[in-house]
A and B are shown apart, each in its own frame.
Chain A
């Protein structure tokens, strides 16, 4: 079996995997990082979104061996030093989650959006979330949370200038 090593949430990790092992299986089953969820088998739902080298990726659509040598961030690695990321905080503040199952993927996807587009319009947020399904919230409060996080983060960026 091939061995694979990568950096996950700042830690060097490695292991033996089958060549068919998906990144999401490696994260969940071998590293015990169960915050990344699997909600479908056709790369549609986005519950498994993580960051690979800074970009959002559906971890069900990438083999573990393809992530060899990469920097991977999962939902467990988003908060730093006990401080929630502003997107995490906004999801709580604005009730952007109900059952919580799509939430890790939604948050990781939203963080990537705001890296690309610090001040998205509502339409841009909704379009970006096309690859993330939620069955509970009707998206209303997810969109609200992401808009609020964007305002919060750009406010902080402005204050730092």
Chain B
């Protein structure tokens, strides 16, 4: 393996700036004449706006503008959109209320944007925002998912019963028939707890209007600058697309929450024009992030598994109610549907599956994709259900999984819920994980723990996910409003240096390193001569951005295709220079060689000839710059087995994760160091969901978990170090690199493993987050707490 090639643990190129304080995040950008925006947010979950008294602050020091929903309307700006149309069982399109940039007539959740104040300094803007008098008439709120249907309160008057859609997938008749004939049915109710993403960098946006060119620049915490530009131009009407530049500079984590087009970025651009072109900067306080970043998960489900007498799965039936909050966020509709129910086969050959999903509006923050997005909900449901079935039938949890795995020779495998898995070897990842976790030695460890007064448990989770999002025609047929291909451009300079421009966006994933490794490996260019550029609509080709573990599997493949074009053009030039037939030229290790001879030209010489074409093929364009787009033929299907071992202190209910083993099949791996890091981070988000995190609103719709004092983020001393293996790969067939994607796996697979371990330790399942209180009650009470 070359030092910087595929498979090498190359330290990250981007780290130098981050470890020396030279990263450049949105809030680090300051410009001459800059002003500051502070948003006035609703203190009520549901209220009519009787009036906004702008005169109450217009004359306060430094105030430049106070704008509200009436101004948005007067200027003809459009509403925020949901870009994926889901249809109900009866074929009708999902029902939506409008989602304005600033509230018009009504506020619908605590944190809803009511007005914006722009002032000379941040402190002045904040003082004025606090002083702004808004007259509200409070309305009854619907806060609870369970109570959304038939609630007296309607979040949007036009959406009856608060029901956005009632969707289904699968063969209901076949599933019902299988259940009727089953030897055993396992049934459970379960909650997938609501989470708040909490990227460490709060959202921020700077809008700059240049009257000279009648054009806007928006610096923004974005995972997908071109998607932002598209929506802000085509739907909001901030500016025509060619007059709007969106820059996502260094971005401090996203986890989905920075995919979405929010009102704030649109408003700062619009406000910059209103005040004559001075830059307008907004940076969220953490409290605002808690209130207004799109939240994740929030499902209530009933799940049933039908089994024969040997523990073979016959059918699965699931009903899920999904809380989508007060407005439909950018991709909210696809999360509890096409990113969820399509994964319910898991790693198993369950022949018949049916799922229906009712999605509801509530007076809470919008809910959308958060790391894993639908797939953690599916994986958690399957893996806890399978464990319960194993418990009820007296089968070892590893054995029931082995019995039901899709066999390694059955790929490609058509599941009953639409997807075709290309490759996998679930038996192999399970066995390797069991070995590494010393599953066989667990009874001895449990006995030893018991002597110390601890309850020790072990839990498995065999997850699968669909990544590499996504084949455009497939998602288009399912309601997506966009294509989900990716783009790249590979640009050489005279001196052989390479710029790689990608449509993806790195906000922690290390693309500047991984993509450079791809190029170094493919073209034989020195690693240090390669620069990866992303995140600026003025520099990069149009791209769809980073989410759904897609950057390498889709964006990386676009780079590969651009490199193929570089090589193809290089062969023409080399053939000319070497006076050989193009068909006789081979490219390897950075050299073009006439096959079977020692006659060759280095890539650098060929590139130089392309830019100084004095001796050059007569009908060939000069230059060496090639672009490519890649639309994947299928999703990718990373899968693996996680084994969690816990010790529970019965006196306090505290859960200590004493051992955690992750064996993942990500296909081929470009940089194992980076991939392992992605797994570590995902695992802790999954463990956070299982043990610590949960967004809670009170009955009036106030967010109780609105700060780090109240929302329990995983800290270093809450989690262990991990045993992670990523070398157990079956190559993916949907891209030439054989890669599957690794960004979401940890968050998808971990919750099931942790909860199964606790169930194994204490003998009953508790809902997430399994706080000490819930665990203690489960140990010490005879009252069922599973559905609390």
Contact A33 B716, CB 8 Å, known A98-B677, A143-B721: no
Query: In whole Å, how far is A94's beta carbon from the nearest beta carbon of chain B?
Result: 8
Contact A135 B286, CB 8 Å, known A33-B21, A95-B12, A122-B721: no
Q: Is A139 a contact of B23 with CB atoms below 8 Å?
A: no
Binding-face segment, A63-71, A101-109, A153-161: A101-109
Is A26 in the interface zone, CB < 8 Å from B? no
Q: Which A15-67 residues sit within 8 Å CB-CB of chain B?
A: 18, 20, 28-29, 32-42, 44-45, 47
Query: In whole Å, how far is B679's beta carbon from the nearest beta carbon of chain A?
Result: 8
Query: In whole Å, how far is B719's beta carbon from the nearest beta carbon of chain A?
Result: 6
**Residue of A whose beta carbon sits closest to that of B750:** A138
Query: In whole Å, how far is A8's beta carbon from the nearest beta carbon of chain B?
Result: 12
Is B201 in the interface zone, CB < 8 Å from A? yes
**Residue of B whose beta carbon sits closest to that of A146:** B716
Q: Is A138 a contact of B680 with CB atoms below 8 Å?
A: yes
Q: How many residues of A contact B (CB 8 A)?
A: 58
Contact A18 B25, CB 8 Å, known A79-B20, A122-B721, A138-B683: no
Query: In whole Å, how far is B577's beta carbon from the nearest beta carbon of chain A?
Result: 41
Query: In whole Å, how far is A139's beta carbon from the nearest beta carbon of chain B?
Result: 4
**Mask for A93-117, Cβ within 8 A of B = 1, else 0?**
1010111111110010000000000
Which chain B positions have C-beta within 8 A of A32?
A: 30
Query: In whole Å, how far is B718's beta carbon from the nearest beta carbon of chain A?
Result: 9
Is B241 in the interface zone, CB < 8 Å from A? no
Is A84 in the interface zone, CB < 8 Å from B? yes
Is B611 in the interface zone, CB < 8 Å from A? no
Q: Is B25 a contact of A101 with CB atoms below 8 Å?
A: yes
Which chain B positions have C-beta within 8 A of A122?
A: 721
Once the chains are docked, how many angstroms separate the CA of A33 from the CA of B22?
Answer: 9
Which chain B positions have C-beta within 8 A of A93?
A: 11
Binding-face segment, B433-441, B626-634, B706-714: B706-714
Contact size class for B?
35 or more
Q: Is B201 a contact of A37 with CB atoms below 8 Å?
A: yes
Is B652 in the interface zone, CB < 8 Å from A? no
Once the chains are docked, how many angstroms separate the CA of A7 from the CA of B686?
Answer: 43
Once the chains are docked, how many angstroms separate the CA of A41 from the CA of B126?
Answer: 14
Which chain B positions have C-beta within 8 A of A41?
A: 285-287, 707
Q: Is A134 a contact of B286 with CB atoms below 8 Å?
A: no
Is B252 in the interface zone, CB < 8 Å from A? yes
Which chain B positions have C-beta within 8 A of A148?
A: none
Is B248 in the interface zone, CB < 8 Å from A? no
Is B582 in the interface zone, CB < 8 Å from A? no
Choose from B255, B677, B715, B719 the contact partner of A95 (Cβ within 8 Å). B677
Once the chains are docked, how many angstroms separate the CA of A42 from the CA of B202?
Answer: 14
Q: Is A135 a contact of B198 with CB atoms below 8 Å?
A: yes
Once the chains are docked, how many angstroms separate the CA of A127 from the CA of B746?
Answer: 23
Is B278 in the interface zone, CB < 8 Å from A? no
Which chain A positions have C-beta within 8 A of B200?
A: 37, 39, 45, 47, 99, 101-102, 133-136
Q: Which B81-106 residues sit within 8 Å CB-CB of chain A?
A: none
Q: Which A112-137 residues sit within 8 Å CB-CB of chain B?
A: 122-123, 125-127, 129-130, 132-137
Is A72 in the interface zone, CB < 8 Å from B? no
Which chain A positions have C-beta within 8 A of B786?
A: none
Q: Is A35 a contact of B677 with CB atoms below 8 Å?
A: no
Once the chains are docked, how many angstroms separate the CA of A122 from the CA of B683?
Answer: 19
Choose from A28, A91, A136 the contact partner of B681 (Cβ within 8 Å). A136
Is B132 in the interface zone, CB < 8 Å from A? no
Q: Is B25 a contact of A37 with CB atoms below 8 Å?
A: yes
Is B15 in the interface zone, CB < 8 Å from A? yes
Once the chains are docked, how many angstroms separate the CA of A78 from the CA of B18?
Answer: 13
Which chain A positions have C-beta within 8 A of B157?
A: none
Is B717 in the interface zone, CB < 8 Å from A? yes
Contact A100 B681, CB 8 Å, known A41-B286, A45-B286, A95-B673: no
Is B136 in the interface zone, CB < 8 Å from A? no
Is A141 in the interface zone, CB < 8 Å from B? yes
Is A11 in the interface zone, CB < 8 Å from B? no
Q: Is A37 a contact of B709 with CB atoms below 8 Å?
A: no
Chain B residues near A (Cβ < 8 Å): 11-12, 14-25, 27-28, 30, 123, 198-202, 250-253, 255, 283, 285-287, 507-510, 673-674, 676-678, 680-685, 707-709, 713-717, 719, 721-722, 746
* 28 A-B pairs whose Cβ atoms sit less than 8 Å apart in the complex: A34-B21, A34-B27, A39-B286, A44-B707, A92-B12, A92-B15, A92-B16, A95-B673, A95-B676, A97-B15, A98-B253, A100-B23, A101-B200, A101-B252, A103-B19, A103-B23, A127-B716, A130-B716, A132-B716, A134-B200, A136-B253, A137-B677, A140-B677, A140-B680, A141-B677, A141-B680, A143-B721, A144-B721
Known: A98-B508, A103-B23. 13 other contacts (CB 8 A): A39-B202, A75-B21, A79-B20, A92-B12, A99-B508, A100-B23, A126-B717, A129-B715, A137-B677, A138-B682, A138-B714, A138-B746, A141-B680
- For the complex of A and B, list the 4 residue pairs with the smallest distance between their C-beta atoms, beginning with the closest: A35-B21, A101-B252, A100-B18, A99-B508
